[in-house]
Each structure stands twice: as C-alpha cells, then as structure tokens.
Amino acid sequence: MQGQQQQAYDRGITIFSPDGRLYQVEYAREAVKRGTASIGVRASDGVALIVDKPVRSPLVEQDSVEKLHKVDDHVGIASAGHVADARRLIDFARRDAQVERLRYEQAIGVETLTKDVTDHIQQFTQIGGARPFGVALLVGGLDDGQPRLFETDPSGTPYEWQAIAIGSDREEIQSSLEAEYDPEIELAEAVELGLQALGSVQEEPLDPAGVGAATVDAESEQYIQLTNEEIEAALPE
C-alpha cells in the first residue's frame, strides 16, 4: 500500500506528498543537473554568459548546439537541462519582450522578463496532465543600464545572483566562483572568470569549439556572442 501511495505522489504533479514535496518538480531539478554546465557572471559594466558545449561527434555542426540565446538586444539567456524545454521558454521570453516593445515602445526589464517566464514555469507545477519544465535558465541583461543576472528554477522561482552556475558540477563551479568573484570585476575579466571556473571541473583543457560565451555590454547595450577566436584569447593559460 505504501508503495502505491508513493507512486501516486510521483505521478501526480498537483499532489503534495505528506511531507510537503512535489516529486515531479524535484525530478525536473535532477534533469537540470544532468545537463552540461552554464555560468553567469555579473560585471560592473555588463553580464557574461558561459556555456559548456562538448563535441559529442566530429560530424555534429557545433552551431546547432543551442545553449545561448538572444532574447532582445539587451537580454541573453543560457540554459541547462532539456534543450527542447529551453526552446519553449526562450520563445515565450522573446514574445514577451516583443509585446513590451510594441505595446509600450520600450525595452522590457530583465527582472520583469524573468518573473514573467517563472510565472509561466510555475503554471506547469499546478496543471494536471502536464509536467514541469526540465530546464533552468540564466537570464542576463541590462535594466536602465544596470547589469542584472537571474536564475530560474523548475518550480517557477526566480533568484538574482552576482555569479551563478547551473547544470552538472554546479557545486564545484560555484565554489570556484565564490573564491574568485569580485563585485568590481569588468566584463572581459568576467568572461575569463567564467571560463576559468568551467575549466576547473574539466579533465582536459577547454576547447574553444566546445565552449560558448556571450556578453551584454552596458556601453553598447547589445547582446554579443563571442567567436571561437575571442574565446580562445580569454581562456586561462
């Protein structure tokens, strides 16, 4: 009987277990942990997003591995977890940003965008016959010229960070970030810090072709994805 009750809590996203847990949300968090790492670092003059894109086969076109996404001119998103789930949320975020521009003729705030996305995520923890999104996002951008960096959780909770890692090896990468992060860090140094933290959990030196990086610069207020040559120049020696 106890096993049948446990199975009911596992399958029912809208049912709390007796100890107040939603098992499907916890399983979604486990799916995020199985995804390759993504890192966000907030600098004094922008936000850097770093992602691990391991080369699984020499036949794979690296540009088809989507972990970095431009949402608006001033906002970028990195993901960890199920890529297909991430694409759905990215599409939602892009529509939300465009509606803001069309309706109010202004760029959407990073915090507003993040909370709209997490409200959408949260709905899938209360709907029968659906499942939570098995992905976490890092939303980085500018609010009135000020760099902001947020994390979304499969439960639909937003968190703001100075520097954060999601996906596999999160604890080790986060420890590296906590040891090295400086609030006054500049954007170029933030990219180097993110790459250094990612490299700290890799057995082999980082391959620029297997890493993605993007920045949102406070001066230009533009999301820019770095080339392999720029990433190689920023790699720790």
pLDDT (tens digit per residue) in 7-29: 666 766 778 888 888 889 999 99
CB 41 within 8 A of CB 193: yes
Structural domains present in the chain: 2-234 (3.60.20.10)
From the number of C-beta atoms within 10 Å of its C-beta (0-12, 13-18, 19+), residue 94 rates as middle
Per-residue three-class SS string for the chain: CHHHHHHHHHHCCCCCCCCCCCHHHHHHHHHHHHCCCEEEEEECCEEEEEEECCCCCCCCCHHHCCCEEEEECCEEEEEEECHHHHHHHHHHHHHHHHHHHHHHCCCCCHHHHHHHHHHHHHHCCCCCCCCCCCEEEEEEEEECCEEEEEEECCCCCEEECCEEEECCCHHHHHHHHHHHCCCCCCHHHHHHHHHHHHHCCCCCCCCHHHEEEEEEECCCCEEEECCHHHHHHHCCC
Nearest partner of 186 among 11, 20, 3, 46, judged by Cα: 46
pLDDT (tens digit per residue) in 93-150: 999 999 999 999 999 999 999 999 999 999 999 887 889 999 999 999 999 999 999 9
Taking the model in full, what pTM does it have? 0.93
Tell me the two tokens of residue 208: 């620029």
pLDDT (tens digit per residue) in 33-49: 999 999 999 999 999 99
Measured distance CA(199)–CA(37) in Å, rounded? 11
Q: How confident is the model at residue 2 (pLDDT cuts 50, 70, 90)?
A: very low
CB 37 within 8 A of CB 201: yes
Measured distance CA(95)–CA(89) in Å, rounded? 10
From the number of C-beta atoms within 10 Å of its C-beta (0-12, 13-18, 19+), residue 143 rates as middle
CB 164 within 8 A of CB 149: yes
Mean pLDDT lowest among 62-71, 111-120, 129-138, 208-217: 62-71
State whether the Cα torsion 32-210-201-151 is positive or negative. Answer: negative
User: Which is higher by pLDDT, 54 or 76?
Assistant: 76
